[in-house]
Amino acid sequence: MDPALKTHKRKRSHDRRSREDLQQLKQKKRNVSHERGDERVNMVDVASSKSIPPASHSSAKAVPSRSEKISSLLRALDEVLDENDADDTLNLIGDEVRNKCRDLQTTIQSISNIDPPSGPRSHDRGIASTLSAHITPWKASEIRNSFPPLPAILDSTLEEATFCHPSASTAKFMFMNYEHLEWVGDAYIEMLTTLLISQSFQNLNPGKLTELRERLIKNAQLEKYSRHYGFDKRLTLNINPDSMGKDVMVKIMGDVFEAYVAAVILSDPVNGFSRAADWLKNLWGVTLKKEIAAEERREKMHLNPMWNLVGSARQALVLSTSYNSKDQLQQALGGKGIRLEYREVAPPSKDRHTDVPIYTVGIFLEGWGAKGLSLGRGSARSKKEAGMKAAEMAMKNKKLLAPYVEKKKLFDAQVELERQALEVAQAAGSIST
């Protein structure tokens, strides 16, 4: 064959392979580009899914409850009103807006009984700051005629677990049901009933006390409470209730009630125990109303000397840790239109040894007839700590606080009387119609 022809064929073959290689290279680039585009789309989809949840049944569960929204608002207000950033906040929003924020914070606290956190919570979750301060005997004059309103669970995950039967929990989230909460709630309920009954029925022997306690904590009674509050309608289970029998369902509803008590306490480490204790005391008081009244009518009372050795609720409040002194002061004096103002009362100084700035903050009362009354002051290396010390100093000055605390008590008592009168009027209206 002619050498020139061979050379021409080799060249054509080489050119063909080169074109094929070039096409393969381009195809690879297109594939890589397409894959990267998919990745970018996926990233956008993920980001979008984080900000805009899909309209599905599962996303509906993620919608915050009303109590969560209130708690989030209080946390936001607490951050805005943080003394450490007081100057920056004042420059940004002005004094009038800041005062309105304080009024809003106080109003929400007074109507929702939820205190905002005063900084990071370093204590163990689920352990209230005081346990015994809110356990006092029943009084017949304070017993309600109807069951009290239900306290809120401030954590959506705990709330969901409270009403999830083990049959409805998935393998991935096998512990997200009421079993563990029920175990914790059972212990709290037994402790609360024991303290309440033993203080209120000091004439009875332990056997009779046990009978009264059993009336309150047996499954049949807890099941009635659960159905009154509609827990049976909120319960999720993957078993037909009709196939389980009445006794099994009574046990389940009793467990759900105990789980709810635990969830209220664990979702609110600062005030959860006191909210649960107040609710259960009022609830059980309705059940034992006749027995409580009969105990108070006894002519001869033989009080158990054991309770004379137990610190009162007031002493427990004074002896509680000082980290919560702001909340204590707010609880003692706070109300709608009442303002406790923390502000610097002296220019910052410096520690002579470390050269660290030292701030001095005072606390002033606006309301209950007082105008800018100085309640206390404190100095520390941060404005927040200085404010805490000022509140601690104010709490110790009982003589100064006494008249304003009394005014708040009278006001709260008047509000309660008006509420009761409204309930009576509404009940009378419903009967007449």
Summarised one tens digit per residue, pLDDT across range 347-363 is 998 877 667 789 999 99
The domain segmentation of the chain, as residue ranges, is 66-112, 140-297+312-319, 323-427
Domain 323-427: assigned CATH number: 3.30.160.20
Confidence of residue 308 (pLDDT cuts 50, 70, 90): low
Of 192, 254, 190, nearest in space to 221 by CA: 254
- 380 phi and psi angles, rounded to 5 deg: -165, 180
Q: Are 177 and 161 in contact (CB under 8 A)?
A: yes
Which residue's structure tokens are 């894959």?
Answer: 35
What is the DSSP annotation of 257-314? HHHHHHHHHHT-TTTHHHHHHHHHHHHHHHHTHHHHHHHHT-SS----GGGGGSPPHH
The predicted pLDDT at position 17 comes to 52
Gyration radius of the chain over CA positions: 32
The predicted pLDDT at position 292 comes to 93
| Token digits of residue 183 | 């175990």
Q: What is the DSSP letter of 63?
A: S
pLDDT more than 70, % of the chain: 66
The predicted pLDDT at position 330 comes to 87
- Amino acid identity, position 41: V
Q: Are 288 and 138 in contact (CB under 8 A)?
A: yes
- Do the strands 357-367 and 339-350 form a parallel or antiparallel pair, or are they unpaired? antiparallel
Provide mean pLDDT across the span 281-291. Answer: 95
Whether the pTM exceeds 0.75: the reply is: no
Confidence of residue 305 (pLDDT cuts 50, 70, 90): low
In Å, what is the CA distance from 212 to each residue of 50, 59, 220, 385, 392? 52, 45, 14, 47, 41
Superfamily of domain 140-297+312-319: Ribonuclease III domain (1.10.1520.10)
Q: What is the DSSP letter of 56?
A: S
Confidence of residue 134 (pLDDT cuts 50, 70, 90): low
358 strand-pairing partners = 349
Confidence of residue 100 (pLDDT cuts 50, 70, 90): confident
Which residue's structure tokens are 């047996």?
Answer: 218
